[in-house]
Amino acid sequence: AAPIITIDGPSASGKTSVARLVAQRLGIPYISSGLLYRAVALMCLLENVTAEEIEHRLGKYRLELHPTPEANRVLLNGKDVTESLHNLEVDAVVSAVAKRPGVRAYVNAVLRELPGPFVIDGRDMGSTVFPEAKYKFYLTASPEVRASRRVPERDAAYETVLAEILRRDQADATQSAPAKDALLLDTSHLDLDGVVQAVLGHLTE
Ligand code: C5P
């Protein structure tokens, strides 16, 4: 079977950027699983309902993820919603959504349909969704380092972004434990290229 590489870690640990670059180097797609939780959070915002309520309305939605080596596009009932998934409104509700067992089952079913090989990032890709993955990584970095990396991606002050990261660390703790066989990489003192090199250095056929 084609290899699956999992890259998990907390918010703003750099996992999506690392997954994209590693995948490009290998010439295979990357997948950012958080986009699917973000899409369910967007459903809540569009319908103005709670995470509990959306869990019972998932049947109304057809959720698709189209991965390529360059980008991921997310379609909701055929409409491309990718550009609406990374903002503080979605950040604020996504953890509550991701806690619902029905939502996790719904997202995991979409992920398990995707054909390998790919590099996939998330919280529980190595521990739960793809336990058979050949290579597993878990990226960490201090909250302060993660906040300064995220500030340019959000139209918000450092303190706001740091508070949001600390809140989401707590809220996501349940599904964020590293897989027992994952390689832990502390990226606090590495730039993006350094992390990518470290990951590539651990891949052997
Ligand atoms: O990875 P990203 O920060 O975009 O994920 C957004 C949210 O989706 C996380 O804060 C978490 O609540 C949820 N998530 C998850 N499991 C994953 C990926 C994301 O619970 N595998």
Does 205 fall in a domain? no
Confidence at residue 154, expressed as pLDDT on a 0 to 100 scale: 85
Report the percent of the chain where pLDDT is more than 70: 99
Stretch 61-87: mean pLDDT: 94
**Cβ-contact 35, 88 below 8 angstroms:** no
Summarised one tens digit per residue, pLDDT across range 139-171 is 999 999 999 999 998 889 999 999 999 999 999
Summarised one tens digit per residue, pLDDT across range 96-155 is 999 999 999 999 999 999 999 999 999 999 999 999 999 999 999 999 999 999 999 888
Does 48 fall in a domain? yes
Does 27 fall in a domain? yes
Nearest CA owner, ligand 1 atom 6: 34
- Confidence class for position 82, pLDDT limits 50, 70, 90: very high
Does 61 fall in a domain? yes
Is the pLDDT reported for residue 69 higher than 90?
Answer: no
- ipTM > 0.90? yes
Does 147 fall in a domain? yes
Stretch 19-46: mean pLDDT: 96
Q: How many domains does the chain have?
A: 1
Confidence at residue 67, expressed as pLDDT on a 0 to 100 scale: 93
Tokens of 55: 């869990």
Report the percent of the chain where pLDDT is more than 90: 89
Nearest CA owner, ligand 1 atom 10: 95
Does 46 fall in a domain? yes
Domain of residue 15 covers: 4-200
Which CATH number does the domain housing residue 164 bear? 3.40.50.300
Across the chain, mean pLDDT equals 94
**Cβ-contact 110, 122 below 8 angstroms:** no
Is the pLDDT reported for residue 204 higher than 80?
Answer: no
CA 33 – ligand 1 centroid, Å = 7
Nearest CA owner, ligand 1 atom 20: 98
Confidence at residue 37, expressed as pLDDT on a 0 to 100 scale: 98
Confidence at residue 2, expressed as pLDDT on a 0 to 100 scale: 66
Does 148 fall in a domain? yes
Ligand 1 pocket mutation pick from 123, 129, 130 by most atoms within 8 angstroms of CB: 123
Does 128 fall in a domain? yes
Rounded Cα distance, 62 and 78, in Å:
7
Q: Is 29 in the pocket of ligand 1 (CB under 6 A)?
A: no
CA 99 – ligand 1 centroid, Å = 10
